[in-house]
């Protein structure tokens, strides 16, 4: 039975817009390599996608995500059923709250005296409202931690656009700089490695050593993947690099596959393939008997993880007779939380801006016609 799909990948800048505007760093000022000035009022902003908090929120949330795309309501209704399966609540908001709580404890233990704010793109607390609160609180500079570790339009550039939109909407407030990509941060790798080891251990003894390792990430249009990063292809390259590091920590020399999930576009638009369910079918046809899926492309177990993997992929594996285990995401793993603090401290000390912070103006630029 075909999956209900709706293209919830946000559109790029329109052809008549200046692609440099949204990717300017620090309000148009290049990030400094000098340490943060003494006495400057600074903060950390956790910037995320957002998610509904109940049945009545689901369709308005999906309309926010797809605004300007002309998606038929009946298609939104089909996708809404995924959320309604979980009471209309996406776990992403609670996961962000848990991450902020863990970061506050990490900061306190390390002597980092910075308040932490939270803003979303598509649901409350909206980033524009959070920006206004930071302005009212007198915050002068904010470091932005985006809940995506990788390069791409939707994974990096659009978070720069969120910052730019909030600054314009409020008309005042702090300067800002996005923290860099962290797919290779030691704590992110360690968190995923520990989760992969635990998932392997959950398999029966007779298939544990031969189970196929399958890394997953959100599929994106191939046109978007082609322009990810300054030279293109960075989304796939970073995911491969992260998965290689994770597997090397757990099972050195063992091979793995990188496949895709959560495709949401029309069949006429090419997206990264293979889909995880198609890959499971191919593995079973090739004689594999067990699989461990590790969703290295995500930092927490939000709805696309628990629906697409814990429901659809697990059912596919069961139908095929494959032993199946799914590794957890980084979540609030102490090593991951410590890595976020380290990224912040590196930037406050004037560490050289890396990709994701100091992006070229045309980086990850996607041009789409107006609806």
pTM for this model (two decimals):
0.90
Q: Contact 276/293 with Cβ under 8 angstroms? A: yes
Give pLDDT, residue 68: 67
Helix or strand (DSSP H, E) at 220: none
The CATH class for the domain spanning 21-182+333-348 reads alpha beta
Phi, psi of 281 (to 5 degrees): -65, -40
pLDDT score for 29: 54
| Residues lower than pLDDT 50 in the chain | 1-28, 369-371
What whole-number distance in Å separates Cα of residue 49 and Cα of residue 70? 20
DSSP, collapsed to helix, strand or coil, labels residue 329 as coil
pLDDT value at position 22? Answer: 46
Q: How far apart are CA 345 and CA 314, in angstroms?
A: 40
pLDDT at 368: 56
Quick one: CATH architecture of 186-326?
Answer: 3-Layer(aba) Sandwich (3.40)
Q: What are the strands of the beta sheet with 141-146, ordered from one edge?
A: 116-120, 42-48, 141-146, 175-178
- Give backbone dihedrals phi and psi of 166, rounded to 5 degrees, phi first: -65, -40
Distance between CA 74 and CA 308 in Å, rounded? 20
Residues 6+ away with beta carbon under 8 Å from 33: 350, 351, 352, 353
Burial 294-303 (b: 16+ CB within 10 A, else e): bbbbbbbbbb
Burial 53-66 (b: 16+ CB within 10 A, else e): beeebbbebbebbb
Residue owning tokens 């795309």: 69
The closest of 223, 176, 185, 230 to 359, measured between CA atoms, is: 230
Q: For residue 113, with 0-12 CB atoms within 10 Å meaning exposed, 13-18 middle and 19 or more buried, which class applies?
A: exposed
Query: CA Rg, the chain, in Å?
Result: 20
Q: What is the pLDDT of residue 69?
A: 66
Tens-digit pLDDT profile for residues 64-104: 888 766 677 887 888 889 899 999 999 999 999 999 999 99
Give the pLDDT score at 8.
Answer: 40
Contacts of 178 (CB under 8 A, 6+ apart): 25, 143, 144, 146, 156, 159, 160, 163, 356, 357
- CATH 3.40.50.1400 domain residues, the chain: 21-182+333-348, 186-326
Residue showing tokens 């960075």:
234
């Amino acid at each position: 039975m075909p999956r209900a799909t709706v293209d919830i990948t946000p559109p790029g800048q329109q052809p008549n817009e200046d692609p440099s505007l949204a990717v300017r760093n620090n309000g148009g000022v290049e990030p400094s390599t000098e340490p943060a000035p003494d006495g400057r009022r600074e903060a950390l902003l956790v910037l995320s996608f957002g998610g509904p908090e109940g049945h009545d929120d689901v369709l308005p949330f999906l309309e926010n995500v797809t605004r300007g795309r002309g998606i038929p309501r009946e298609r939104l209704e089909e996708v809404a059923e995924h959320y309604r399966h979980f009471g209309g609540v996406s776990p992403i908001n609670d996961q962000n709250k848990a991450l902020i709580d863990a970061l506050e404890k990490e900061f306190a233990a390390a002597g980092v005296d910075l308040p932490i704010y939270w803003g979303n793109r598509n649901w409350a607390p909206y980033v524009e409202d959070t920006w206004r609160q930071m302005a009212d609180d007198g915050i002068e500079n904010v470091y932005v931690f985006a809940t995506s570790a990788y390069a791409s339009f939707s994974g990096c550039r659009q978070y720069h656009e969120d910052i730019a939109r909030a600054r314009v909407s409020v008309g005042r407030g702090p300067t800002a700089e996005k923290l860099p990509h962290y797919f290779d941060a030691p704590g992110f790798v360690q968190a995923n490695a520990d989760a992969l080891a635990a998932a392997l251990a959950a398999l029966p003894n007779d298939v544990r050593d031969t189970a196929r390792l399958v890394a997953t990430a959100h599929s994106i249009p191939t046109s978007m993947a082609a322009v990810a990063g300054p030279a293109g292809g960075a989304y796939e390259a970073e995911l491969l690099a992260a998965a290689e590091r994770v597997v090397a920590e757990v099972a050195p020399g063992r091979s793995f596959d990188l496949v895709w999930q959560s495709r949401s576009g029309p069949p006429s638009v090419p997206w990264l393939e293979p889909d995880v369910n198609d890959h499971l079918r191919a593995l079973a046809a090739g004689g594999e008997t067990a699989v461990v899926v590790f969703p290295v492309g995500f930092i927490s177990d939000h709805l696309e993880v628990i629906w697409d993997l814990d429901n659809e992929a697990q059912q596919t594996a069961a139908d095929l007779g494959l032993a199946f285990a799914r590794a957890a995401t980084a979540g609030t793993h102490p090593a991951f939380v410590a890595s976020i603090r380290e990224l912040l401290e590196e930037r406050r000390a004037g560490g050289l801006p890396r990709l994701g912070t100091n992006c070229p103006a045309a980086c990850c630029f996607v041009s789409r016609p107006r609806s």
